C-alpha cells in the first residue's frame, strides 16, 4: 500500500471528517493511490491532497475518488454531504443563524438566509448555479451580488431561479417565495387575522407576479400556461395569439395583465371585470 499516510489534518473538523471518509473507502478497496489514479483519471497528488484534510477537494474529485474505490450511489451521496459541510466550514461565511423562511421579515434576514443557503450547498461556482437556475433568469453578475449580500433577487422568477441554483426542491419553494414577497414587494394579507409582521402571499398574488414576469420577458408560453390552468386551452391560446404576430400578442398579454391586476388587488372576479376592457 506504499508509505504510511500522515495523520489527517483536523484543524477544520468537517474537512478532516471528509478526508477520513475518503481514506476509509480507499482502505476498504485495498488499492494504492497510483491504482486509484488509473481508475479515476486524476493524478496521485490530487487524490492524496483530497484525503489529507488540509484543503477541501472539489465535488467532482470526491465523487471520482469514491467511485474509483468501488463506492455506490449512497456512498457518493454521503460523501457529497460531507463535502458540503467541509466547504461551508472552510469558507467560514455561513453563520447558520438566519431564521427559517416563514419567520423572515426583513431584507437583511432574507439576504443572510440566501447566503446561508448557497454556503450550505457547498458554495458551488457561479456558473454551476447559473446552469441549474437557467441563464435567462439568473445572470452571473446578479448571482454574485446576491451571495455577496449586495442585493436581493429582483423578481419572483429570479428568486425561484436562485433557489434552483442552490438545489432547493420545487416543493420547498413556496415559503421562500412568500418570504421574498414579504420583504421585497407589497404583500396581501389573508382574512384570518394573521400577524402583520408575517403577512401571507396569496396564491392569487403569486399567480399575478408570474404573469407580470412573463409579460416583462415576452414569454408567451409561460403567460398562457399561467393564465389558463387547462393545458389544452393554454395551448390553444398560445397558438392563436402567436399566430397574430408578436406586437398584437404583447398587447393581449398587457390587456390580460391589466385585468388580472384589478382582480388581484380588488378581489373581484375576472368575469365581471372583462366588461371594462375595450373589445379588440
Q: What is the pLDDT of residues 165-211, one digit of tens each?
A: 999 988 888 889 888 988 887 544 344 444 444 344 456 766 777 77
Residues 208 and 272 in one domain: yes
Q: Which three cell numbers stand for residue 167?
A: 438545489
Within 13 Å and on the Cβ side, how many CA atoms surround 210?
Answer: 18
Residues 236 and 254 in one domain: yes
Question: Structural domain of residue 241, as residue ranges?
Answer: 203-276
144 touches 126 (CB < 8 A): yes
Phi/psi-derived region of residue 252, left when phi > 0, alpha when psi is between -120 and 50, beta in every other case? alpha
At residue 276, the pLDDT reads 44
Q: Which domain-ending residue is among 131, 159, 177?
A: 177
Q: Which domain-ending residue is among 32, 58, 91?
A: 91
**How many structural domains comprise the chain?**
3
Residues 18 and 77 in one domain: yes
- Residue 48 and residue 37: Cα distance in Å, rounded? 10
- Residue 192 and residue 206: Cα distance in Å, rounded? 18
Determine, yes or no, domain membership for 158: yes
Q: What is the pLDDT of residues 97-147, one digit of tens each?
A: 777 888 888 889 999 999 999 998 889 889 999 999 987 788 999 999 999
Residues 74 and 112 in one domain: no
At residue 22, the pLDDT reads 95
Determine, yes or no, domain membership for 191: no
Residues 41 and 22 in one domain: yes
Determine, yes or no, domain membership for 187: no
- Residue 136 and residue 155: Cα distance in Å, rounded? 13
Nearest to 198 by CA among 68, 79, 101, 80: 101
Residues 70 and 135 in one domain: no
Residue 151 predicted with pLDDT over 60: yes
Q: What angle do CA 211, 216, 218 make, to 5 degrees?
A: 90
- The pTM assigned to this predicted structure is 0.58
Residues 48 and 85 in one domain: yes
Q: Which domain-ending residue is among 91, 112, 136?
A: 91
Residues 123 and 82 in one domain: no
Residues 105 and 82 in one domain: no
Alpha-helical (H) ranges within the chain are 13-29, 33-40, 44-50, 59-68, 73-91, 107-120, 126-133, 140-147, 156-165, 173-184, 203-216, 220-227, 231-243, 246-266, 270-273
Determine, yes or no, domain membership for 185: no
CB atoms within 10 A of CB 163: 22
Residues 207 and 265 in one domain: yes
Residues 115 and 162 in one domain: yes
Q: Which three cell numbers stand for residue 161?
A: 431561479
Phi (first) and psi of residue 7, to 5 degrees: -60, 150
Q: What angle do CA 92, 169, 192 make, to 5 degrees?
A: 100
> What's the gap between Cα 38 and its chain centre?
35
Q: How far is CA 227 from CA 172, 251, 259, in A?
A: 23, 15, 11
Determine, yes or no, domain membership for 149: yes
Residue 21 predicted with pLDDT over 50: yes
Determine, yes or no, domain membership for 193: no
Residues in the chain: 280
Alpha carbon dihedral 266, 271, 274, 276, in 10-degree steps, equals: -60
- Residue 20 and residue 8: Cα distance in Å, rounded? 7
Question: Residues 67-74: what's their mean pLDDT?
Answer: 94
Q: What is the CATH number of the domain that holds 43?
A: 1.10.260.40
Determine, yes or no, domain membership for 272: yes
Mean pLDDT across the chain, nearest whole number?
82
Share of the chain above pLDDT 90, in %: 40
Determine, yes or no, domain membership for 198: no
Residues 270 and 207 in one domain: yes
Query: Which positions ≥6 away from 43 have C-beta within 8 Å?
Result: 37
Amino acid at each position: 500500500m506504499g508509505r504510511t499516510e500522515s495523520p489527517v489534518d483536523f484543524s477544520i473538523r468537517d474537512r478532516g471528517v471528509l478526508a477520513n471518509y475518503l481514506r476509509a473507502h480507499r482502505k476498504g478497496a485495498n488499492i494504492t493511490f497510483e491504482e486509484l489514479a488509473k481508475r479515476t483519471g486524476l493524478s496521485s497528488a490530487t487524490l492524496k491532497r483530497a484525503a489529507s484534510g488540509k484543503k477541501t477537494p472539489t465535488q467532482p474529485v470526491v465523487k471520482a475518488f469514491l467511485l474509483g474505490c468501488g463506492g455506490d450511489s449512497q456512498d457518493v451521496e454521503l460523501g457529497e454531504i460531507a463535502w458540503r459541510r467541509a466547504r461551508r466550514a472552510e469558507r467560514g461565511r455561513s453563520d447558520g443563524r438566519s431564521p427559517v423562511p416563514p419567520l423572515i421579515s426583513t431584507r437583511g434576514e432574507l439576504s443572510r438566509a440566501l447566503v446561508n443557503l448557497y454556503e450550505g450547498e457547498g458554495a458551488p461556482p457561479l456558473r454551476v448555479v447559473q446552469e441549474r437556475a437557467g441563464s435567462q433568469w439568473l445572470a452571473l453578475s446578479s448571482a454574485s451580488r446576491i451571495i455577496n449580500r449586495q442585493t436581493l433577487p429582483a423578481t419572483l422568477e429570479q428568486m425561484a431561479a436562485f433557489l434552483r441554483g442552490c438545489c432547493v426542491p420545487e416543493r420547498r419553494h413556496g415559503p421562500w417565495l412568500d418570504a421574498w414577497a414579504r420583504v421585497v414587494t407589497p404583500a396581501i394579507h389573508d382574512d384570518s387575522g394573521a400577524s402583520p409582521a408575517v403577512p401571507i402571499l396569496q396564491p392569487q398574488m403569486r399567480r399575478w407576479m408570474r404573469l407580470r414576469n412573463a409579460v416583462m420577458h415576452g414569454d408567451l408560453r409561460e403567460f398562457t400556461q399561467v393564465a389558463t390552468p387547462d393545458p389544452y386551452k393554454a395551448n390553444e391560446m398560445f397558438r392563436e395569439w402567436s399566430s397574430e404576430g408578436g406586437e398584437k400578442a404583447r398587447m393581449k398579454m398587457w390587456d390580460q395583465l391589466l385585468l388580472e391586476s384589478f382582480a388581484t388587488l380588488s378581489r373581484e372576479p375576472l368575469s365581471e371585470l372583462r366588461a371594462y376592457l375595450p373589445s379588440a
